[in-house]
Amino acid sequence: MHGIDLTIIWAVIIAFGIMMYVLMDGFDLGVGILFPFAPDEDARDVMMNSVAPVWDGNETWLILGGAGLLAAFPLVYSVLMPALYIGVFLMLAGLIFRGVAFEFRFKAGSHRYLWNWAFAGGSMVAAFAQGAVVGAYIEGFNTLDGRYVGGALDWLTPFTVLTGLGLVAGYALLGSTWLIMKTEGHIQQWVYRLAPWLLAAVLAVFAVVSVWTPAVDPSAFERWFSVIRLIWIFPLSALLFALLVVRGLRRRQQSMPFVATMGMFAFTYLGLLVTKWPYVVPPNYTLWDAAAAPGSQLFLLIGMLFVIPVILAYTAWTYWVFRGKVKVGEGYH
Amino acid sequence: MELDPLLLSRLQFAFVVCFHAIFPVFTIGLATFIAFLEALAFKTGNPLYTRLSRFWIQVFAVAFAMGVVSGIVMSFQFGTNWSNFSYAAANFIGPMLSYEVVTAFFLEAAFLGVLLFGRNKVPPGVHLFAACMVALGTIISTFWILAANSWMHTPVGTELTDGMFVVGSWREAIFNPSFPYRFTHMVLASFLTGSFVVAGVSAWYLLVGREVEANRRALSMCLWLILFLAPTQAVVGDYHGLNTLEHQPTKVAAIEGNWETTRGMPLLLFAIPDQENETNHFEIGLPKLGSLILTHDLDGEVPGLKEVAPEERPPVWIVFWAFRIMVGIGLLMIGCALAGLFLRAGGRYWRQPQFLNAMRLMTFAPFAAVLCGWIVTEVGRFPWVVYGQMSHAEGLTPSLTGGMVLFTLLGYIAVYAAIFSAGLYYLMLVLRAGLESIDQDDEEVHDIERPKRPLSASHVGIEEGGR
């Protein structure tokens, strides 16, 4: 495979997979986070119905990312999993509870409130854990000879708690703008009122993290203020999208707030990637240090190039089939 | 007492993998049975097969959903608790597991929805095709998982350089020496599990006189299947054992409870192995039969446990007894099949209460047999995670402490207990509602209630147990 760097191709695939995961599971986790604050039980039915047909497709990206990471960048997998041991457990427990709540809430009678809590609690814990992972990633990992050598709770610092709460707010924002698009009447009015507060919280965390990051990661400071100035295009784009969200909410637009929130997320994510490039296990290991054998990368790439378009097509088809508003008292047809 | 992260990690892996395995081992067999029913319905046009299929698809959906949920945990276990192993074996294990995910996704994306909800929306031929593809998909998933597992038992086609296995030949590594036996043994075990569950549930319905015509038909089909599958499984198991003798003699020695390398080894029926004193107590055995089975010669030489150092021997009593439970259940299965054949005369197989009761109780037996089989093969390879190349201790995550693993082990037990008791309880309600629930089944109503989720395939309410 002269001339083609498989490692770069895989980096793009994994980065794309993670972004798809964050954007897509993000809004359905967000719906779960908003669950306890819903005005009534009808609203909860509609909220759950709005994501029920798509949420497990959204989580496919997580599993694909996890397995792909093991296959393409074993070092990332074998350092991050031990380093985030407790966090990974909490995230999985959260995802399991909310996953099963999807199945059982509609079947339950008087125990429905328990499944409501499983859905909301599971979503919050999973979102927080993912946010903390982002923070831990910015801080970097304590490694020696390619092995994680830190403690069980190194990932839990004031900084990562902030990023954890930030992602909870961020997912809630995604969830609320998704609901603006998918609901109507009193439910939509409720999320219209809620979304600006969530946006304010997200921007506040965004600002604090931006100021704080150079303190936990000196190389970030260097990258932002001395090397490539073009990098500023990412946060500026993210802020531009934030303005679009504000405008969309003011004008009571249906889809714009959701689309603009996704744009905000995407550019923040790209900004983070550029800050760390080319390190995948900060602060010590680059993409190429972490890569699997070229033969293994190629073996799996053949399957992936075949399946990713199918996943995208299937995803698009599902969203098309279940397009439109979800009404109280009915699901999709 | 110091908590040992190695032992606790092994316990945790055993717990989550056993819990997970219960569901796929059943759904793989059931998917094939459903495809079989759909084919019969398509060919004969008999609505009875359609009703049976619709009922068992509901059960399939619930078990499949639980298998998927518990499977998510598995893909993270390797990294969290066995990071050194994950890193070293990633070049092979990574693509295998990823291809399994890809296969499972394909199955779910393209065909599961059609099978569950598409009966009235697509032509019958397409629905039958979807049923076949779901069945095929579960078997392809098995293929990837067992390729990875078999390679860990008989690692060939790879070379360990700089702490990483690099794949030299994919063909050799995937189709490694123990793979064909392990894969066949597992697929047959899944088919047997599916058959015994359907037979047991049908027998239960027949005992209380529910839907006699359909359930009699289902029981009959399963008994024919078992009559073919159970003896075949015994033969395949024997070949698998011979393969193990060639590649992992210590495991076979533990299975036989054989300490000394010897000729004319007896076949032990009962013994209490004593690891410390390297001997057995209360042996009851059949002379020379062990050698005959393993070498096809009454005086054939079989290696004993003392060939390897004490610290390289697996805990003998676990392997010894797990094997005997598995084989005992296998023999019971063959007995059931023969009894069923004998009772065909005059149609007694669906009328005789003792036989129906026995089949009802046998519903759970295949699960026990499968778990015991996995315990034999996984405990029996101790202390190796990649046989002969990497030990459990070398594969463990270095930063792990006993307290961390204890925390997550208790956590997984709590999560699984909560979630799966709900799942199994619901499965029982679906079974209790039975085939009668099919008739009022209106898939349109159902779409409203709950869009496109596996459990939407059933509309048994959780509390009423009816609708």
Which residues of chain B from 126 to 155 reach within 8 Å of chain A, CB to CB? none
Pairing of strands A285-286, B158-161: unpaired
What's the mean per-residue pLDDT of chain A? 90
Question: Residue B451 has what pLDDT?
Answer: 47
Distance of CA B307 to the CA centre of its chain: 32
Pair A115, A105: CB distance under 8 Å: yes
One-letter amino acid for residue B57 of the chain: I
Question: Residue B116 has what pLDDT?
Answer: 86
Whether the bond into B5 is cis, omega within 30 of 0: no
More confident residue, B452 or B415: B415
Mean pLDDT across B290-314: 92
- Evaluate the CA torsion angle B228, B234, B240, B246 in order and state its sign: negative
Dihedral of the CA atoms B293, B294, B299, B305 (nearest 10)? -130
Q: In percent, how much of chain A has pLDDT > 90?
A: 64
Mean pLDDT across B285-312: 91
Q: Nearest CA of chain A to the CA of B378: how many Å?
A: 23
- Residue B465 placed within a domain: yes
Q: Domain range for residue B451?
A: 23-157+422-467
Tell me whether A46 touches chain B (CB under 8 Å).
no
Question: Residue B66 has what pLDDT?
Answer: 85
Distance CA B85, CA B160 (A): 12
Question: Residue B449 has what pLDDT?
Answer: 41
Question: Residue B448 has what pLDDT?
Answer: 39
Distance CA B52, CA B47 (A): 9
Residue of B nearest to A77 (CA): B79
Distance CA B115, CA B126 (A): 9
Nearest neighbour of B90 by CB, restricted to A70, A147, A151: A70
The closest alpha carbon to B33, from B195, B143, B141, belongs to B195
| Both structure tokens of A34 | 């908003």
Nearest neighbour of B415 by CB, restricted to A93, A106, A332: A93
Greatest Cα pair distance, chain B, in angstroms, is 70
Q: Nearest CA of chain A to the CA of B61: how many Å?
A: 11
The per-residue pLDDT for range A51-80, each reduced to its tens digit, is: 888 887 787 788 888 888 999 999 999 999
The residue written with tokens 């959903």 in the block is B65
Q: Is A161 left (phi over 0), alpha (psi -120 to 50) or beta?
A: alpha
The answer on pLDDT for B185 being more than 70 is yes
- ∠ CA B133-B95-B453, rounded to 5°: 40
Tell me whether A305 touches chain B (CB under 8 Å).
no
Tell me whether A117 touches chain B (CB under 8 Å).
no
Tell me whether A292 touches chain B (CB under 8 Å).
yes
The answer on pLDDT for B467 being more than 50 is no
The per-residue pLDDT for range A271-293, each reduced to its tens digit, is: 999 888 889 998 899 999 999 99
Residues of chain B neighbouring A57 (CB-CB closer than 8 A):
109
Question: Residue A227 has what pLDDT?
Answer: 61
The residue extents of the domains of chain A are: 6-321
Pair B199, B175: CB distance under 8 Å: no
Whether the bond into B383 is cis, omega within 30 of 0: yes
Pair B464, B68: CB distance under 8 Å: no
- The 10 Å Cβ neighbour count of residue B2 is 5
- Residue B429 placed within a domain: yes
The residue written with tokens 């997320």 in the block is A265
Is B86 in contact with A77 (Cβ distance < 8 A)? Answer: yes
Pair B281, B331: CB distance under 8 Å: no
Q: How many domains does chain B have?
A: 1
Is A77 in contact with B79 (Cβ distance < 8 A)? Answer: yes
Which residues of chain B from 80 to 109 reach within 8 Å of chain A, CB to CB? 80, 83-84, 86-87, 90-95, 97-102, 105-106, 108-109
Is B86 in contact with A74 (Cβ distance < 8 A)? Answer: yes
The answer on pLDDT for B458 being more than 70 is no
Distance CA B52, CA A29 (A): 38
Is A86 in contact with B90 (Cβ distance < 8 A)? Answer: no
The per-residue pLDDT for range B422-447, each reduced to its tens digit, is: 888 888 989 998 888 776 554 444 44
Mean pLDDT across A207-234: 82
Report the b/e string of A207-230 with b at 16+ CB within 10 A: eebeebbeebbeebeebbeeeeee
The CATH code for residues A6-321 is 1.20.1630
Residues 6+ apart with CB under 8 A from B425: B462
Mean pLDDT across A107-130: 91
Tell me whether A149 touches chain B (CB under 8 Å).
yes
Which range among A109-113, B151-155, B411-415 shows the weakest confidence by mean pLDDT? A109-113
Residue of B nearest to A304 (CA): B102
- Residue B46 placed within a domain: yes
Pair B119, B196: CB distance under 8 Å: no
Question: Residue A3 has what pLDDT?
Answer: 58
Distance CA B243, CA B256 (A): 15
Which range among A41-45, A52-56, A263-267, B354-358 shows the weakest confidence by mean pLDDT? A52-56
Pair A245, A264: CB distance under 8 Å: yes
Pair B100, B28: CB distance under 8 Å: no
